[in-house]
Structure 1
C-alpha cells in the first residue's frame, strides 16, 4: 500500500481542496486502486484481440524462443535493444509456453497500471486527492492515444513507463538510490528510458542534494547496468546497445517520409490529449505551479522521441506520463466543471481509439500468416528457414527456427521504417554482420528462403551477396509478392 510522506519540495498550489482535506491513505487507495485496475484492463482490451500487433512483438517472441534453446544474448541472439524485455518474454514463455503472447499482454496491463498508480501518488502528494485520481485516470486514457499497433503492443516503450515514473516518484521523495535503480531499469528496457535522468537531475539540484546523494543515485544506475552487461557479453552489450547503431540513428534517407510519420503521430497523440491540451496551454503559461521538472520531463521525453529520427508511434508513449501530470497541474487550478469536461473529453477520445483497435484491419498480419503457412508447407519442423524481410514475426507464426541471428534484413542493409534513400545497402549493415551471416548460411543452409522485400530498397536484386547465396535455390511459389525459394537436392 502506498503511503504519503510530506512533500520534499515547495509547491505553490495545493489543489482545489488542499493537503489538509485528505482522507486517510488506506481509504483513498482502497477506492482508487480498483478503479485504475478496471480502467487499465478496459483500455488494453484490443491488445488481446489479435495474436500479434507489430514486428517488435514478433522480434521479441523469436528472440525468446532462441534464448530458450540455448542462444546467448548479444552473441547468437542479437538486437539493438537492452536485455530487460527479451528476458521478460523468455521468462513468460518458460512459464506459460511460447505459443501465445497473452501472458505478455497481461504484463503490459500491469505495467500501465503501475505507471498510473505512481502518477496518482505523485499528483496527490502535490495537489491533493482529486489531483491524484485525475492523474491516474488521465495516464490510462492517454496511453491508448496512438495507432493501435503502437499503443496496444507489449513492447519496449510500454515497459519503460513504470520505470520512468518510478524514477520521478523516488526523486520526489529524495530516495536517491532507488531513483538510480529506476533509471537503470528504464535504460535496460530501452536506451531512451534514460531520458528521465534529466528531470531527476533537476530535482536533485532544486532540493540541494549533496554529494552522497549523487553517489547513491549514480551507484543505483551503475549497479543494474553492469550486472546486465556481465550477465550477457560485456563487449556485445556495449556494441549492440550503445556503439553499434550509428548508421541506424541517422536522418539521411526518406526524410519527407519520416517527417510525415512524425507529424502524423504527433497529430494522433494530440487528438488523444484534446481534453488536457487547452488547460495546459491556457493555465500553465501564466500560473506558477512548481512544475519545472515536469516540463523538463516532457522535454527530455520529446528528445527521446527524436533520437534516431524515425518517429515511430510507440516512441511517443514516453510523452504520456509527463503530459498527464501537466494536465493534472493545470486542471487542479481551474473550476471543477473544467475538470469534468477534460476527463469526459479524454474518455470519449479513448473510446475512439479502442474502437479503432478492435475494428481496424491488420493486412500485414494477414500477409505474415500466409507466408508462415508457406514456410510450414515447405520446411519440416526442425529445418531452419530464412525470411529476408522486415517481419520477424513470420518465424514465430510458422513455428520454424531462423537460420540466422539477424532476424530482419534491416540489420544487414540498414533499412528501417521506410528508409529507402542512399544509406540502404550491404555497406551500411551492422559491422561484421555479413561475414557472420555468410558463415551461418554455409554452416546451416536454410531449407526455405522467403524474399519478402516486395520491391523495397533491400530487395534481393539489389543485394549482391544474397543473390550469390541463393544460387543453389529455386523459386517455387509467390505469396502476396513474397517469393518462396527451396534448396535444390
Structure 2
C-alpha cells in the first residue's frame, strides 16, 4: 500500500477505521511512512535475527531444557528405528514436531539438540516478521519495528524452561501469525492452510481460526472465501488423519485425554499455576501493557483493531483449555499482545515509545540472565540415571524408566521397552495436577492392556523406578508392582531412582 493513498483514507488515531469493506491493513497518520519493501526488510530482518539469537542464547547452554524436548528426542530415535507414530511411538500431540525432530536427526545426527534450537531461533524470527508486517500495514515502518522487536523480546518472558526449549509452541507461532497475516491480506486459502499447520503442530493452534474467520466476516468477503478457508484447513487435517487412521489419530490427539483435561479436584492448584505463569508474562510485557492501559483507560482512546482483540481472546481460551496452565502455553499470547501494545504506543510521542522499548529490553535481559544461571537439578539427576543405565545394559537392550523424564532414554541411548515414555499416560499424573486423580484407573483408555503387551513382547533388561515418592510410585500401581516383584530384583539406587534387573528363568 502506498503511504500517501493510505493516509488519505485513514481516520484519525483512535477514532476507528470507517465502514470500508476491509479492516486492514491500514496506515494511521503520523505513524511513519513506508519505505520500499526490499529496503525495509533488508534493515528489519537482521535486527530481528540478532535479537532472536541474543535472547535465545541460553537455549544452547543446556543439553535438555524440559521433558518435552526429551520426549521428542526419544520419539525421533524410535521413528528412525522403524517405529510407527500413534502405534509403537505415541504422544498426545499432533505429528509435525516429531517429524521435524526426526528430520533434523537424520541430517545432523541425534546426539545433540542444537539444530532444533537453531530452528527455534528461525521460528521466532518468522513469527516476529509476520507480526511486523501486520503492524506495517497499520502503522507504517515505525510500527513494524516496534511490533517485531516487542515480539522477540517478550517471547522469552516466562520461566526459561518454557521459553528456551525447542518445543511445540515455539514452532506453532509462525503458523498462527502467518494465518492472521494471510487473512489480513485476504489470501483465504493460505490462511486456512496456515491454521491447519498450526493445529498439526499443537492442537490449540487451531484457535487462530477465530481471528481468521473474524477478518473474513469483517471484510464482508462472502461465502466463497469462507469455503476456501474451511477447505484449506480441513484437507490437510483430513489427510493426516487418514494417513494415521482416523480413529487412532483422534484418540491420541483428542478423545483419549479426557481425564488429563479434567480439572476435577485440582481447581485451586490450576488457578495458582495459571496466575503464577501469567504474572511472569505480565512482568515481561509490563511496558507495553502500561501503554495499553494508559491509552485505553486514561486517554480514553479505544483502539480500533477488533481483530487483534479477537486474536488475543482466542489465544487466551487456548491457554486455558485443559486447565494445565504450563508456562509455555502462554507463548500463544505473545503475537496479539505485541500488536496491541504497538497499537497503544503508536498513539504516543516517540520518546515514550523509545522508553517502552528500552524498558522491555532491560526486562528481556533479565530473563536471559535467568536462563543462564537457572539451576537444573532434574537434568543432573537424569544424567546420573542415564549413566547408570548405560553401565548396566548393552546398546539395543530395551529398558523401562517409570517416571516423567523421557530424556533418560535419549541421554542413555537406550531403547524404550514400551510405547509409553512417561507414567503420565498410564496414571494420569501431570505436574499441573499434582496428585489428584492419579491411579491405574485414570490412565488413557486401553493403555494398560497395551503396556502389558509391550512388556511381554519386549521384556526390559532393566526397570528404573524413578517415581521418587510421587503419587504414581510403585506402591500405588499394583499391576507394575506385581510385575516387578515377579520378574526383577533390586540391584542399586541412584539419586533416589531404584534400579531393578531382570531375573532370568
Contact 2:31 2:142 in 1 (8 A): no
The match for 2:344 is 330
Contact 1:253 1:420 in 2 (8 A): no
Equivalent residue for 2:471, pick from 457, 471, 480: 457
Contact 2:24 2:184 in 1 (8 A): no
The match for 1:318 is 332
Contact 2:23 2:215 in 1 (8 A): no
* Residue 158 (1) aligns with residue 170 (2): yes
- Distance verdict in 2 for CA 1:110–1:255, change over 3 Å: same
User: How does the TM-score come out when normalised to structure 1?
Assistant: 0.97
* Residue 147 (1) aligns with residue 159 (2): yes
* Aligned residue-pair number: 487
Structure 2 residue matching 1:478: 3-state secondary structure:
strand
* Residue 97 (1) aligns with residue 93 (2): no
Question: Separation in 2 of the partners of 1:133 and 1:95?
Answer: 35
Contact 1:12 1:288 in 2 (8 A): no
Structure 2 residue matching 1:309: 3-state secondary structure:
coil
Question: How far 1:392 moved relative to its partner?
Answer: 0.5
- Distance verdict in 2 for CA 1:405–1:10, change over 3 Å: closer
Question: How far 1:478 moved relative to its partner?
Answer: 1.1
* Residue 483 (1) aligns with residue 498 (2): yes
Cα deviations across residues 62-93 of structure 1 (Å, max 9, x unaligned)?
A: 11110111111111111100000110001101
Question: How far 1:407 moved relative to its partner?
Answer: 0.3
- What does residue range 58-457 of structure 1 map to in structure 2 within 5 Å? 58-285=70-297, 286-457=300-471
Contact 1:64 1:93 in 2 (8 A): yes
Question: Separation in 2 of the partners of 1:211 and 1:257?
Answer: 45
Cα deviations across residues 261-296 of structure 1 (Å, max 9, x unaligned)?
A: 211111111110011111111213522332111111
Question: How far 1:393 moved relative to its partner?
Answer: 0.6
Question: How far 1:474 moved relative to its partner?
Answer: 1.0
Contact 1:73 1:233 in 2 (8 A): no
The match for 1:17 is 30
Structure 1 residue matching 2:499: 3-state secondary structure:
strand
Structure 1 residue matching 2:156: 3-state secondary structure:
coil
Question: Separation in 2 of the partners of 1:103 and 1:17?
Answer: 42
Question: Separation in 1 of the partners of 2:217 and 2:291?
Answer: 29
Cα deviations across residues 282-321 of structure 1 (Å, max 9, x unaligned)?
A: 2135223321111111111111111111100000000100
Contact 1:62 1:392 in 2 (8 A): yes
Contact 1:77 1:405 in 2 (8 A): yes
Question: How far 1:443 moved relative to its partner?
Answer: 1.4
Question: How far 1:233 moved relative to its partner?
Answer: 2.8
Contact 2:63 2:113 in 1 (8 A): yes
- Distance verdict in 2 for CA 1:380–1:168, change over 3 Å: same
Question: Separation in 2 of the partners of 1:289 and 1:233?
Answer: 46
Structure 2 residue matching 1:80: 3-state secondary structure:
coil
Question: Separation in 1 of the partners of 2:455 and 2:95?
Answer: 26
Cα deviations across residues 186-222 of structure 1 (Å, max 9, x unaligned)?
A: 1000000011111111111110021110110011101
Root mean square deviation, CA, Å: 1.8
Contact 1:13 1:289 in 2 (8 A): no
Question: How far 1:421 moved relative to its partner?
Answer: 4.1
Structure 2 residue matching 1:387: 3-state secondary structure:
strand
Contact 1:12 1:290 in 2 (8 A): no
* Residue 467 (1) aligns with residue 473 (2): no
Question: Separation in 1 of the partners of 2:426 and 2:476?
Answer: 12
* Residue 40 (1) aligns with residue 55 (2): no
Contact 2:34 2:136 in 1 (8 A): no
Question: Separation in 2 of the partners of 1:452 and 1:259?
Answer: 28
User: How does the TM-score come out when normalised to structure 2?
Assistant: 0.94
Question: Separation in 1 of the partners of 2:24 and 2:237?
Answer: 34
Question: How far 1:61 moved relative to its partner?
Answer: 0.5
- What does residue range 1-16 of structure 1 map to in structure 2 within 5 Å? 9-10=22-23, 14-15=27-28
In structure 1, runs of 5+ residues without a counterpart are: none
Question: How far 1:18 moved relative to its partner?
Answer: 4.4
Contact 2:70 2:405 in 1 (8 A): yes
Question: Separation in 2 of the partners of 1:48 and 1:124?
Answer: 32
Question: Separation in 2 of the partners of 1:467 and 1:37?
Answer: 51
Question: How far 1:3 moved relative to its partner?
Answer: 11
Q: Report which stretch shifted further, 351-360 or 233-242.
A: 233-242
Contact 1:424 1:457 in 2 (8 A): yes
Contact 1:60 1:86 in 2 (8 A): yes
Contact 2:25 2:137 in 1 (8 A): no
The match for 1:29 is 41
Question: Separation in 1 of the partners of 2:41 and 2:107?
Answer: 31
Question: Separation in 2 of the partners of 1:18 and 1:458?
Answer: 57
